[in-house]
Structure 1
Amino acid sequence: MLALGSAAVACAQSSVTIFGVVDASVSQYASKSEDRNFATPASPFYVNQGSRTVSRSTLANSAYNNSRLGFRGTEDLGGGLAAGFWLESPITNDDGATGLANFSRRSTVSLMGGFGEIRLGRDFTPSFWNDTVYDPFAAVGVGANLISSASLFNTTGGPNGFGGNANYLRASNSIGYFLPPTLGGLYGQLMYALHENNSYDPGTATPPGVNPLTGQLNAGAAASSRTGRYVGGRIGYLNGPLDIAFAVGNSTVGDDYFAGTTDSVKTVNLGGTYDFGVVKLFGELSRTRKTRDYAATPALPLPDTDLSGYLVGATIPVGPGLIRASYARVKYDLNPVATPFAPAAADPKAGKLSLGYVHNLSRRTALYATFARVSNKNGAALTVGGPSFISAGVFTPKTSTGYDFGIRHAF
């Protein structure tokens, strides 16, 4: 729920609402790496260097709900039509440094009616929604969905990892369409985000870029024309205790006219919840692939990177509180180039266990506690947040642990 409370100023047939969330937590993170090498007949004098841990304690924000300040409104246009706007800004209440400097969380204007809603501006992408809606921790804090963490902050996979996908969470310059809420539980969303780069006709008129290292003109250094484009959709069904949805998305994360290459991140996911009353079950399956398409395939093309993952979780109401738990697992397929004399490296993988409790003091105020632990294998380097692993030299990322203790107030 994007707005948990409101203060409204109403006119004849229009309304404007101010809403927000202030969330603060004491949080701690620790990332542990290990030297997994030992003395061998080939290196009999090797001394194992043990482990190295990087930790950080902070007063953080947005560990249960993202802190924000927003304004939204609607106007009745008559004839079943309405217009609306939504401006939502992130805030960092722990240091006060970020406030109404921008509306990067959402900035949209809409036209609504019996046909559904047409929405223009910066908004959440359809392929992101399943990562948060079907996660007991809503992809926030140390307990956040590991699939989401791998998509946002991935360092596994080198230059072909997923951390460069600026359209994973939200897309700017988007045109969206939403089905009307009168279809017997069926709901859906389509989005196309414009890249807003120059295109040249003929293509050979595309000017070469400037090499950032040498300052010289270099055909292909910055000759992008489609980077930033996003196309995606989501379709779901909500009826009583059941909610299930399927989503796809394709984001162009890099292209070069002169080199004849286009880099894309393609996402497919399926998620659902079922509320039994005494317990609500969550689940998600996801697959993401980063590919490079070539106008003329070279002898050694850049291999694709695949990320597949799943999440299972539950929430259990206990009086005024809520117990939250989830387990998620992701696996990478880096598709390395095979060589006849070297065995294929094992696929990097990681698992995450998250446990938490929320105690509602009122409808607007809650206390919460969350603990999470990530276990990495075969070179995966995912964390619960905070500092990165020491991975230089002989050290390999192993575990990342963290906790959040905080308070959330919504208005």
Structure 2
Amino acid sequence: MAALAVAGVASAQSSVTLFGVVDASISGYSNKSRDFNNRSAKVSQQALTNSGYNGSRLGFRGTEDLGGGLAASFWLEAPISNDDGAKGIADFTRRSTVSLSGGFGEVRLGRDYTPTFWNDTVFDPFGTNGVGTNLINTASGYNFLTAGAKDTGGFGFNSNYARASNSIGYFLPPNLGGFYGQLQYALHENVKTDGVQDSPSKRGRYVGGRFGYANGPLDVAASYGQSDAGDLELTFVGSGLPKIVAAPVVKTANLGASYDFGPAKIFGEYSQAKMEYDIKSPFIVSGDSTLKGYLLGVTVPVGPGLIRAAYSSVKYDMGDHLSYLYDDGKANKLALGYVHNLSKRTALYATIARVSNKNGAALTVGGPAFPSNVAPKNTSTGYDFGIRHAF
């Protein structure tokens, strides 16, 4: 009886919620490439996939009222692959946090979204999901120096593009008249050894922040972040060059905004990611490479549905130190889609998209990679037709 009484008190003071998204779509991809000799090649694929509208997930979250305006919370969210059932709750890599909140704001510990990623997904009509994902997101998660790399990650070997592990975050309280913001620092957790040459670097560290204003139809936010990729061993396959040791740091800044006119909501974002690094090599000097991109989008409500459209573009500046190996590639993308809400939790959706690459850029809408990554021009098209159910 005593145990039951204690359990009753505990349940009255806290709450735990099971939540999730099950999203499945029939998707198709067609990626064409033309090499320097004007020979063409094509790869295509049709598949039943997941996360075309929202990322499929399963999670648990809970809050305990500690009194005096304080609350303790946890959030455990796992990615799932409902198209084949192969990936269930094997990890909580989408989010794994515990936090303490009050009038001072919120302090959050664990694995969480980075401040710089928020603008890429919040101001994208497609929410960085499916074939409609904006090119800023695609290029930031794609590494053009993957051949023989010891560590890959995204642009500039950045493994902290979307999420950062071992992070400490602070969020402003929500009662600031529309102003919001966050700061985040992620520990690299590398062992430091004094007195030993070439001691491990700060690989894995992230520091960043995001501040914005949302009131009525307007939402605008700016963010900045710096991610240390650390010491990397690179081998340029087929180039005849010896191994290179580099220490890249990726610095990202972006500005995004949206405005809801009622009949339509417009979106916009500008982003720049710069890879700065020192190369310990006698034949290549230190330097940096830059990825710049922008996004323009719109959503139009139509009865129970929503029309979505976005145009995004990115451009690489490889710098003089890499210009003889890589061109300053560029790409643009057009995406169109429609979402039909059957209820608040269930929706049918359709999306089509096309990417045009130039000067050796090799970005796709998804599916298989291009037949050749050194082609001067590539095009990629794709579609998603699916259903999303949230609970």
TM-score (norm 2): 0.89
State yes or no: 1:28 paired with 2:13. no
Q: What is the CA deviation profile of residues 155-191 of structure 1, one whole-angstrom value per residue up to 9, with x for unaligned ones?
A: 3797797162110010000000000001000000100
Q: Give how far 1:129 is off.
A: 0.3
Matching residue's letter, 2:33: S
Q: Give how far 1:338 is off.
A: 9.3
Q: What CA distance in whole angstroms lies between the structure 1 residues aligned with 2:272 and 2:369?
A: 24
The equivalent of 2:61 in structure 1 is 72
The 5-angstrom pairing of residues 373-388 of structure 1 reads 373-388=354-369
The equivalent of 1:205 in structure 2 is 196
The equivalent of 2:331 in structure 1 is 350
Pairing partner for 2:75 from 74, 79, 86: 86
Q: What CA distance in whole angstroms lies between the structure 2 residues aligned with 1:164 and 1:195?
A: 15
The equivalent of 1:214 in structure 2 is none
Q: What is the CA deviation profile of residues 59-88 of structure 1, one whole-angstrom value per residue up to 9, with x for unaligned ones?
A: 000010000000000001011100000000
The equivalent of 1:323 in structure 2 is 307
Q: Give how far 1:337 is off.
A: 3.8
The equivalent of 2:18 in structure 1 is 18
Matching residue's letter, 1:105: R
Q: Give how far 1:299 is off.
A: 6.6
Q: What is the CA deviation profile of residues 183-230 of structure 1, one whole-angstrom value per residue up to 9, with x for unaligned ones?
A: 0000001000000110122xx325xxxxxxxxxxxxx5xx52311000
CA contact under 8 A between 1:155 and 1:382: conserved in structure 2? no
Q: Secondary structure at the match of 1:353?
A: strand
The 5-angstrom pairing of residues 6-405 of structure 1 reads 11-37=11-37, 48-49=38-39, 51-155=40-144, 162=155, 164-201=157-194, 204-206=195-197, 223-255=199-231, 262-293=247-278, 300-337=284-321, 347-391=328-372, 395-405=375-385
* Distance change in 2, residues 1:337/1:109 (3 Å): closer
* Distance change in 2, residues 1:260/1:320 (3 Å): closer
Q: What CA distance in whole angstroms lies between the structure 2 residues aligned with 1:338 and 1:384?
A: 26
The equivalent of 2:390 in structure 1 is 410
Q: Give how far 1:398 is off.
A: 1.2
Gaps of 5+ in 2: 1-9, 233-243
Q: CA RMSD in A?
A: 2.4
TM-score (norm 1): 0.84
* Distance change in 2, residues 1:297/1:36 (3 Å): closer
- Residue correspondences, number: 368
Q: Give how far 1:261 is off.
A: 5.8
Q: Secondary structure at the match of 2:231?
A: strand
Q: What CA distance in whole angstroms lies between the structure 1 residues aligned with 2:351 and 2:85?
A: 24
Q: Secondary structure at the match of 2:121?
A: helix
Q: What CA distance in whole angstroms lies between the structure 1 residues aligned with 2:52 and 2:373?
A: 30
* Distance change in 2, residues 1:200/1:316 (3 Å): same
Q: What CA distance in whole angstroms lies between the structure 1 residues aligned with 2:46 and 2:253?
A: 36
CA contact under 8 A between 1:328 and 1:351: conserved in structure 2? yes
Q: What CA distance in whole angstroms lies between the structure 1 residues aligned with 2:88 and 2:353?
A: 29
Q: Give how far 1:154 is off.
A: 3.6
Q: Secondary structure at the match of 2:230?
A: strand
Q: What is the CA deviation profile of residues 350-374 of structure 1, one whole-angstrom value per residue up to 9, with x for unaligned ones?
A: 0000000000000000000000000
Q: Secondary structure at the match of 2:140?
A: helix
Q: Give how far 1:293 is off.
A: 3.6
Q: Secondary structure at the match of 1:147?
A: helix
* Distance change in 2, residues 1:263/1:35 (3 Å): closer
Q: What CA distance in whole angstroms lies between the structure 2 residues aligned with 1:363 and 1:92?
A: 23
CA contact under 8 A between 1:354 and 1:373: conserved in structure 2? yes
Q: Secondary structure at the match of 1:142?
A: helix
Q: Give how far 1:304 is off.
A: 1.3
* Distance change in 2, residues 1:262/1:337 (3 Å): closer
Q: What CA distance in whole angstroms lies between the structure 2 residues aligned with 1:15 and 1:369?
A: 36
Q: What CA distance in whole angstroms lies between the structure 1 residues aligned with 2:129 and 2:355?
A: 15
Gaps of 5+ in 1: 1-9, 38-47, 207-219
Q: What CA distance in whole angstroms lies between the structure 1 residues aligned with 2:36 and 2:338?
A: 36
Q: What is the CA deviation profile of residues 34-54 of structure 1, one whole-angstrom value per residue up to 9, with x for unaligned ones?
A: 1353xxxxxxxxxx53x1100
* Distance change in 2, residues 1:33/1:200 (3 Å): same
Q: What CA distance in whole angstroms lies between the structure 2 residues aligned with 1:36 and 1:323?
A: 39
Q: What CA distance in whole angstroms lies between the structure 2 residues aligned with 1:281 and 1:338?
A: 37
CA contact under 8 A between 1:185 and 1:237: conserved in structure 2? yes
The equivalent of 2:240 in structure 1 is none
